[in-house]
């Protein structure tokens, strides 16, 4: 089973993402509320995929992305944010994010991105 790390400072957003993932049978989820916790849990829990907001306290999502990729250059990170300026999306992808899902998102859009970036044997 795939382990997924969700980093978002909004508890309702983490809950919604968990519910969407559960529809796909993805229930091994770690929830954190800031970028610093995301880095710490990435290091200790080694998730198969990370879903991360950009605007968070302690350490924003882009800085956390860089730190996570320094730990594991093959880390799979999808940014999920309401900040969807083209330059922000490009910056996230340039820094190493695999994908960018714009909030508010439709469940099928999120699931499509998650499924695309998890290896077939993990979903």
- Output the DSSP codes for 73-98: TT--EEEEES---HHHHHHHHHHT-S
| Per-residue pLDDT tens over the stretch 74-100 | 999 999 988 777 888 889 999 999 999
The residue range of the domain holding 117 is 3-122
In this predicted structure, the answer to whether residue 11 has a pLDDT above a threshold of 80 is: yes
| Per-residue pLDDT tens over the stretch 38-70 | 999 999 999 999 999 999 999 999 999 999 999
For residue 32, the cross-strand partners are 7
Q: Please work out, in degrees rounded to the nearest 5, the angle formed at the alpha carbon of residue 12 by the alpha carbons of 63 and 89.
A: 35
How large is the angle between the packed helices 107-117 and 11-23, nearest 10 degrees?
70
Domain total in the chain: 1
Q: Please work out, in degrees rounded to the nearest 5, the angle formed at the alpha carbon of residue 50 by the alpha carbons of 104 and 44.
A: 145
User: Can you give the CATH number for the domain in which 60 is found?
Assistant: 3.40.50.2300
Average pLDDT, whole number, for the chain? 92
């Amino acid at each position: 089973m795939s382990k997924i790390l969700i980093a978002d400072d909004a508890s309702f957003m983490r809950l919604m993402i968990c519910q969407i993932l559960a529809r796909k049978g993805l229930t091994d989820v770690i929830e954190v509320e800031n970028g610093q916790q995301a880095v710490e849990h990435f290091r200790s829990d080694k998730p198969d995929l990370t879903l991360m907001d950009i605007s968070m306290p302690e350490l924003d999502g882009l800085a956390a992305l860089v730190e996570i990729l320094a730990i594991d250059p093959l880390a799979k990170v999808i940014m999920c944010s309401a900040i969807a300026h083209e330059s922000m999306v490009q910056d996230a992808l340039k820094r190493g994010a695999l994908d960018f899902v714009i909030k508010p998102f439709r469940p099928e859009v999120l699931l499509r991105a998650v499924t695309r970036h998890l290896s077939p044997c993990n979903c």
